[in-house]
Amino acid sequence: MDFNYHPSERWHRRLNLIVYLNHDWRADWGGNLELFVDPYADRRPAVSVPPAFNRCVIFETTEHSWHAFDPIQLPEDQRERSRKSIALYFYSDDRPAEQSAGRHTTHYVKRQLPAHLRAGHTLGEADVTELQALLQQRDGYIRGQQEEIAKLLQAQDHGFSGKVLYLAKRLYVRMRR
């Protein structure tokens, strides 16, 4: 789930618009937009959209608009490619109270374990490698969250000067427009 307010204003984020710029992209290469009902409960997305050239996807941004893209796995002869898109966000001044939530940043949910890893499965070397990579990703994510919390606490510790710095950044963003 993405951040729900504009970074420097109090506008509610309402819509995401993504236009894909990938000529001759194959869905089996990954990078497909995935829309989930509940990523904590569902292994598979409800909808998967390949990032084909000139395809436009528009979806509402809510506290339940879970989306991601699946891992990109390009064949050796296509390694120079990259997945390209343009994303636009649309905002409104307000939103119905029952749809509103407190300000938050993007909420990342790590993928569930692959379906083949279940009771009774004998782990092979590829499985162990995959599990190590998943644990490494999780640990990196936790470290990043801890660093972000530490930065916020340190800014809070600076009291008035931290608030002035925040307001200066906000003023800068407004003046750039």
Between residues 29 and 117, which one has the greater pLDDT?
A: 29
Which of 75, 93, 111 represents a domain boundary (last residue)?
111
Which of 60, 95, 111 represents a domain boundary (last residue)?
111
Q: Which residues contact 29 (CB under 8 A, 6 or more apart)?
A: 72, 73, 74, 75, 78, 81
Say what the pLDDT of residue 1 is.
65
Lowest-confidence region among 41-45, 94-98, 109-113, 146-150: 109-113
Number of domains in the chain: 2
Average pLDDT of 137-147? 86
Under DSSP, is residue 164 helix (H, G, I), strand (E, B) or coil? helix
The reported pTM is: 0.67
Answer yes or no: do 144 and 99 share one domain.
no
Answer yes or no: do 14 and 56 share one domain.
yes
Answer yes or no: do 68 and 19 share one domain.
yes
What is 47-77 written as a DSSP string?
Answer: EEE---TT-EEEEE--TT-EEEEPPP---GG
Q: Residue 105 — pLDDT band, cuts 50, 70, 90?
A: confident
Say what the pLDDT of residue 157 is.
67
| pLDDT(111) > 80 | no
> In DSSP terms, which residues pair with 15 in a beta bridge?
60, 90
pLDDT tens sequence across 74-86: 999 999 999 999 9
Range of the domain at 123: 113-177
| pLDDT(89) > 80 | yes
